[in-house]
Amino acid sequence: MARIFISYKRADKNIVFPIKDKIEKALGERCWIDLDGIESDAQFVSVIIKAINQASIFLFMYSHHHSEITDFDNDWTVREINFAQKKQKRIVFVNIDRTPLSDYFEILFGLKQQVDALSHESFNRLLEDLKIWLSIENSEPKNINNSIREATSYTEGLNYVYDFNRREATVKGIYGGTWESVSIPPFVEKDGAKFKVVKIEEWAFAKCRLLTSVYIPDTVEEIGNYAFEDCDKLTSIFWPNTLREIGAEAFKNCSSLRSVTLPSQLKRLERHAFMNCQNLSSITIPQSILFIGIGAFWGCFALKSATIPTTDPNIGITAFDRTCKVIRKK
């Protein structure tokens, strides 16, 4: 019996499943989730009813796809959450792309707990809350009989460069450029050996014009130059805590980005990293930052102010456009 029920839209599968994996690994607790998207077939309604009845926590993976719903009576995710509400389940909204709640969800569920899946602080707080709600002690996750799916299940189409001495892998790129979402696994296998994914190579996903979201695991330490340049539909990035460096022009011309919270261990942000992200209006820079390259945020006209958590005048001195007010404080 699964005590956590996860509701999601099929179009968000490649983002939701890695989040599910993180929850399961952190808690040692299996989540109930429909493998193909619940809207796929009404014959599973009895299965859904049973799963929600048995669960004590209902995680609603909210995205921009929910804001596009017009037929609320026949949308399966809406039916799920209304049924969970009726059964008085603990409902938590997990926002996977920072889309504001639509009027429908705001008026009915606006007072429910909201979690920003793109914020490590917010997501880690959810994990701690889940442990409390489920009375799970802070110990090593227990074996859940392989119910945690291997990350390679979601990585079809990715290329890698392998370092057999270090047992490390670099994401080289993607077959074609037509994916809407990409989930990078923390480990991959090659010739019977397991490799830790530590880097995204230069140009790896550049000019993937349909790419809207990317999940980067907590093993990646570096994003190479131009890695996501000209991904002009990219809106959601799940940042790894392990990231130390973002390369030159890595997210240049990603004009759909609106808010970025850089990971807490980031050391270097190279030149023109977010240049011409014209709709970027919010940036959070961690205290760990040691270097911000020239023009890192040039052309980010929606960015009116930015706080650099250091009084060192040499950090970020030429990083921002003239329209942005830079505030320095330790």
Rounded distance, CA 317 to CA 326, Å? 9
143's CB contacts (< 8 A; 6+ apart) are 28
Q: Is the pTM of this model over 0.75?
A: no
Answer whether 198's CB lies under 8 Å from 188's CB.
Answer: no
Sign of CA dihedral 95, 116, 18, 161: positive
Rounded distance, CA 190 to CA 209, Å? 29
Backbone angles phi, psi at 40, to 5 degrees: -70, -30
Answer whether 300's CB lies under 8 Å from 259's CB.
Answer: no
- What's the pLDDT at 157? 67
Rounded distance, CA 77 to CA 275, Å? 38
Tokens of 322: 């003239």
Domains (range + CATH), the chain: 4-133 (3.40.50.10140), 156-330 (3.80.10.10)
- What's the pLDDT at 156? 52
Rounded distance, CA 80 to CA 101, Å? 17
Answer whether 89's CB lies under 8 Å from 33's CB.
Answer: no
- What's the pLDDT at 35? 65
Answer whether 239's CB lies under 8 Å from 257's CB.
Answer: no
28's CB contacts (< 8 A; 6+ apart) are 136, 140, 141, 142, 143, 144
- What's the pLDDT at 260? 95
| Amino acid residing at 171 | V
Rounded distance, CA 177 to CA 56, Å? 40
For residue 92, which of 49, 135, 127, 61 has the smallest C-alpha distance?
61
- What's the pLDDT at 143? 44
pLDDT beneath 50, residues of the chain: 36-41, 137-155, 175-176
Alpha helices in 71-113 (DSSP H): 76-86, 103-109
